[in-house]
Amino acid sequence: MHEFDIWTGTAWEVDQQALKARHIAAASQQKTALINQVSDHINILLDAIAMDNQQTDIQQLAAFKQYRVALMRINTSAAPEIDWPELPQ
């Protein structure tokens, strides 16, 4: 028996609405966690740029900002079929 199984009166079936809600909640949590992580990294890069303005830090900053925007634009209602953006190197 599955966590989201419901009795329909004649058979056990998966409660698709409950399952979808669980997927959306999990995706929302993941999205928030990823945005928080990348925001912390962006703040560190901003500090590094303010101190010595190295080109590699500036390039990384742009890549991580693009990643954060891509995360922000994710529609979690599409869960579990979400194409998560790739973390910059």
Which single residue is written with the structure tokens 């329909």? Answer: 8
Which tokens is 39 given? Answer: 């925001």
In a domain, 84, yes or no: no
- Does residue 17 surpass a pLDDT of 90? yes
In a domain, 83, yes or no: no
Share of the chain above pLDDT 90, in %: 84
In a domain, 69, yes or no: yes
Global pTM reads 0.86
In a domain, 85, yes or no: no
Residue pLDDT, tens place only, 27-55: 999 999 999 999 999 999 999 999 999 99
The span from the CA of 68 to the CA of 63, in Å, is 9
In a domain, 19, yes or no: yes
Its domain, for residue 28, covers 5-78
How many domains are there within the chain? 1
**pLDDT score, position 1:** 66
Task: Tell me the CA distances in angstroms from 47 to 16, 37, 42, 75, 88, one per residue in order.
Answer: 47, 16, 9, 31, 19
In a domain, 40, yes or no: yes
Burial 11-47 (b: 16+ CB within 10 A, else e): eeeeeeeeeeeebbeebeebbeebbeebeebbeebee
**pLDDT score, position 8:** 87
